[in-house]
């Protein structure tokens, strides 16, 4: 999977590419994209952190969220 197309309503779609196509077109698997790795780190932290809640984030959670946001901005 190299991309996820999200829709406002209805199901989204996953886009796949075989290894030769990924190499030829310079595509990166979703699991290796910076914003996906940053989001995974953020989720793991906030799931286990007592200081992170709906009302706010601890310092580490806030920094991880900022890293995720910057990675998202860079992916666009």
Give the model confidence (pLDDT) of 48-75 as tens digits: 899 988 788 999 999 998 988 888 887 6
Which residue stretches of the chain are H helix?
Answer: 19-25, 34-48, 59-75
- Nearest of 58, 37, 36, 35 to residue 47 by alpha carbon: 58
- Helix axes of 59-75 and 34-48: crossing angle, nearest 10 degrees: 160
Phi-psi region of 52 (alpha: psi -120 to 50; beta: other; left: phi over 0): beta
Give the model confidence (pLDDT) of 6-23 as tens digits: 777 777 788 899 999 999
The predicted structure's pLDDT at residue 75: 67
Q: Give the global pTM.
A: 0.59
């Amino acid at each position: 999977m190299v991309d996820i197309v999200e829709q406002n309503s209805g199901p989204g779609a996953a886009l796949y590419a075989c290894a030769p196509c990924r190499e030829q077109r310079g595509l990166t698997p979703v699991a290796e994209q910076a914003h996906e790795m940053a989001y995974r780190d953020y989720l793991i932290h906030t799931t286990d952190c007592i200081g992170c809640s709906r009302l706010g984030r601890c310092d580490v959670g806030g920094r991880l969220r900022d890293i995720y946001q910057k990675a998202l901005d860079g992916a666009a």
